[in-house]
Structure formats: structure tokens, C-alpha cells
Structure 1
């Protein structure tokens, strides 16, 4: 899957291209000179289930526009101004974070706030390799190392020096996260899911002590990285920074692990989250943890807890999307099966809790 693979804009998710282009011409100093007089073409990135993301192209100029989803939104969620501000301050310290061009608070332009950032061309590795690629074990190993080393590099950023202190409240972060995500699940609940009470009770009773806080992406995974098309083990960007904050770096690692499916994982998990990481040569989750520990010096002895929480958090995110579909607030048929996905993830998390008690 290439990052540049786009689709025509989905029905009901269009915007006024002329108004956006006029705004960009007025506000963005980085626009190349002598661009064509035509309006830019607009396509949509089909992946992702949260913010809507579009590719704008006009001659040599390419940029990415991000806006919140349609329909009622949870309080403080999908904050475009916050996301753009984080990228603006993080980009000089972590160049894999794309540079934002402009944030627009004027909702009369497209009906919501939005921001526009630079486009990084490359390849996103999701459920398959690009055509013509031979995924030899050594390549898969190098990609694995690039993922975990990029995360370690992000966690090495001095968030105070980057001016990011205001974007998080690290004191009591993990306990607050556990409590908050349990509450989110209850608000979005639609069906009785076996095992959820067992998982939430176990999480609430065993919150570990966090290491020193860092910048955390909060949704760091292989398919939120863009790789060089000619060297798949070389990242050119990390995308989707909407949940970035200052908090527990082991939570960030656990989120990565939660999306990192192994060949020996249960079939239900592999079917629900198809990914190239089951290809021979990719590191196991345990190997990723040990590499991270070697790179950062952090104590990883409590990763079992963090991984259960990561799975639970993923289930809640899917549940929040599913309830919007069930209420008719979105027509995207991709979300119709999210209830079943929630059940599978909770079942897997419950099994991990059971094994942790032995």
C-alpha cells in the first residue's frame, strides 16, 4: 500500500475547494511561485477511521489537509488547532513529524476547523508489501528495528526544550488514562461484551508506577509511518499526531505492540488486523521490547500490564466509532463490523489477564 494511494472524495465528505485554495494562497508563504491557475485536484486517503485526510495537488505543490469527522464529537477530541501546534513545535526537534503550513479556525471555509501540512511521498506498509518487493527476512528485521528505534528517538526529544510542556499533564498520567478509557467505554457501550468487566477491574487495580514522562505519539504503529519507496527500512515520516501528549513512554510502546501481530497469534486477531508483521524476519513483540529497553535504558518489566491496557484502549476506540455508525452518525460501511472487532480484542485482553495471574 503506498501512501499516495488515494480515492475520489467520499460522498458527503467533500469541501469547497475554491475557498480552501483562496485561503491557502492568502495564508501560506511556502506556496511555490507560478503555480497553475487551476484549482487543485483533491483526493482522499481511504485509511484511518478518525480525522478525515485529503491530498491537494496543484502542479508541483502537494499538501495534506486534515479535518475532524462529521457528526457530533466527544469533548476535546479531534482538536485541529492542538494537532497543528504540536507539529509546529515538534518538527524542528523530530524531523519525521511533517511541517504544518497553516491552521484555519474559520469554520465558514469548509464547515470545521482544519489544517494543512506538507506531504511526504513514500510507502505505508500495512497488510502487504508493494508490488515487486521481495520481503526477505533481513529486510523485515531492518524494518522492525526502524520502527522501534524511531519510537525511541521520539521519546528522546526534550519536550521542555521543544516548548511542548503545555500539551500534557504527566503527573498521574497512567492512572488517569486507565480511569478515563474505562469511562469512555461505558459511555459508548452498545452490547454486553464478555470479559470486559474482568479486564477493566484488573487494569484499575494494578496501575504501575510510570517512568519519567516523554513526548508520546499515542497511536504509534507501523502503518502510521511512511517509508522510503526505494529503501523500506528508512522512515520518511510519522503521521497521525492527533492524540500526542506528554506521558508514559511505555504506554506508547504498548500501543505499538498492540498493533504488532505475530504469526503465532490467535487467528481471530490476525484476521482482524492483517499486517505484514507476520512475515518471517519481523521481530516478535518481546524482541521489540528488549530492543527498546536497550536503546532507552527503561525498565520494561511491567509491559504485560501496558499491553493489556493497549488492547483495551484499541477496543474502546473501535467502540466509539462503532456507536457512531450504529446511531447513524456516519454512513461508512467499514464500521459495521467494528462491534465484532471489539469482542475479539476484549477476548484476547481477557486471555492475557488470565495468563498474567498464573
Structure 2
């Protein structure tokens, strides 16, 4: 049970908030940090009757950082209600910092398995079921991209066609403004990508961090819910596909985007298989050149991991199963990989 203020949860105050604001909650409520998240902090909340919810709040010391706006994430989840997209239901939000030092929101707890690492895959998903999980993942992504963002409440943003330029500016600015060192590969990859931004097609809802371990699966290998919506906006859907491909490690890869990727075991389809399945489901008018989106996502993930490195150095992530130095080394590898892919792009 989490009990210390530096964990991000003031137990008594948040428990009282639950009893007052979450229907059916019976005190006292206990909180346990959920491992895996490296950005916003995530907790399992369990009340006296055993009912469970999930609570999300920003990293320590970053209560009102634009990059960790949990109330915006709650708004995104609210907009997805009524769409076919599988996502958890928000049951409460709190913008009063006096409760636990930062805004937070609470959502329903979904039942299922998160395939977070090779060990979980090996223990819970036989090799003959892994292709079905991959197919469900791709169909879920194409289903998200089939939703009209105007009908889901995104309004004028759905008319913009500068998503990649905005993303390049945003992540570069985040990296430059809050860093403890300079990685040359991040800077020069950014400059090369800016010069080669492709023309964007129709704007769609972009999850922003779509990968196997940000989804929860039911026993029948379908997706129970997509998780971690903090980076969601409207833009170029191929950015999501590129990110899925970068995270989709194959056993013989030299560099992995994750330290212990769940797909680094036999039985999963290849990245080329995923592209074919996505294009078959999305049926674009022209076949896109995915190379830019792959380079872009290696760069973006390098920026994200470098940010995690900075926050862990400063103690903003609370207790961690990894050292700051391990994140720093990972960010260097990712930045070098991004530059390698960026150099392959044509004029």
C-alpha cells in the first residue's frame, strides 16, 4: 500500500476524496503504484469492498506541466465515449492540488492482461495465439483512425494539416528547455526531418503512444482497452503506425526502442506484416512511404526517454526499478538510431 507523500498519493486525503466523488466507493481506499509508466504516475485504487479503479497524476514536481496534463487526458477519454474505440471510462477528476499535490483523474479498472515484457508473453500467450493478438492490435489502431475527429469533439483542429511540423517543434522545444545534456543526434535528426515532412492526408485521432504494452487484452485475444492517452491529438494517423513499428521489436534487431520488448520472442508477425494488415484495413488512396514516420518515431521516443532520464535524475518519478543512468544510455542509443534512419530519407 502506498502511504508516503513522496509517492504522489496523500492516502487519507485521496481516500476521503474517493468516498465523496466516486460513486460506490467505500473507505478506506488503498493505493498501489502500477509499474510500467514512465511519464504520468499510475496507481491501482482498491476500496474496502475490493472494488478497483485506476488513478493517474503527473510526475512529482510537475503538477501543471503541459506535457503531463492528466486532465487533458481525461478529456480525451471523455470524447471517445460513444465511439467504437475501446478505452476506459473516466469516473472522476480533481483539479484541487490540496488533495494530493497535483491534479488527477480516476477511471474504471479494466480486466485483462498487459503484455509488457517477454516473460509475460511467454507465460500468458502461447505462440499460436500471437498472430491473433497482432491482428487485433492493428485492427484496433485502424478503427481508431476511422473515427471522424469532428464527431468526437475535436472541432477546428481536424482541419489542420501541420501535425508533423507541430510535433517536431513541440518535442524539440521540450528537449531543449528541460535537459541536463545535449545529444547531437537529436538535434541533427530534427533538422533533417523538418526538411522532409511529407504531405499530410486527412486528419485523424492520433493516440501518440500506440504500442502492444499500451493495450490490455481479453482472454479471447481482443483488445479490452487502449491505455495512456496523454499524448493524443488530431493529426497524421501514419505517425501512430510508425510508432507501432518502431516499438515492434524483432528478435534479430540490433536496437530496440524498449529495454525489454514484449515482441522479442518468436511467434509474432513481422513489421512488414503489420504494415500490410494496416493498409488493408485503412485502405488509403495511395500507398504511403512509411520511412519518414519510422525515423520520426525513433527521434520522438529518444526525446521522451531523454525526458525520463532528466526526471529520474531529479527524483520526479518516485521509486523506480531502473537507474537514471540506464535511461540516459537508452536515450543515446535511440537518438543514434533515429539519425541512422533519418540519413536514409530521400530529398
Question: After TM superposition, is the score higher than 0.5?
Answer: yes
Match of 1:129 among 106, 120, 124: 120
Asked if 1:234 corresponds to 2:217, the answer is no
Indicate the SS of the match to 1:183: helix
- Describe how 1:76-115 pairs up with structure 2 within 5 A: 76-115=66-105
Partner residue, 1:4: none
Partner residue, 1:326: 313
TM (norm. structure 1) is 0.87
Change (3 A) 1:23 1:81: same
Asked if 1:24 corresponds to 2:11, the answer is no
**Alpha carbons 2:40, 2:70 under 8 Å: kept:** no
Match of 1:290 among 255, 276, 284: 276
Task: Kindly state the Cα deviation for residue 332 of structure 1 after the two structures are TM-superposed.
Answer: 4.2
Indicate the SS of the match to 1:43: strand
Partner residue, 1:253: 241
Task: Kindly state the Cα deviation for residue 185 of structure 1 after the two structures are TM-superposed.
Answer: 2.6
Gaps of 5+ in 2: none
Change (3 A) 1:168 1:10: farther
How well do the aligned residues superpose, as a CA RMSD in angstroms? 2.5
Partner residue, 1:149: 139
Indicate the SS of the match to 2:105: strand
TM (norm. structure 2) is 0.89
Gaps of 5+ in 1: 1-6
Partner residue, 2:39: 50
Any idea what the Cα deviations from partners look like across 1:100-159, whole Å, max 9, x if unmatched? 0011111111111111110002111021235754622x3111111111111001111122
Change (3 A) 1:169 1:329: farther
Indicate the SS of the match to 1:177: helix
Asked if 1:41 corresponds to 2:27, the answer is no
Task: Kindly state the Cα deviation for residue 25 of structure 1 after the two structures are TM-superposed.
Answer: 2.7
Any idea what the Cα deviations from partners look like across 1:283-321, whole Å, max 9, x if unmatched? 221221121111111244321001101010000011112
Match of 2:176 among 178, 181, 186: 186
Change (3 A) 1:15 1:167: farther
- Describe how 1:167-206 pairs up with structure 2 within 5 A: 170-193=160-183, 195-206=185-196
Stretch deviating more after TM superposition (233-242 or 162-171): 162-171
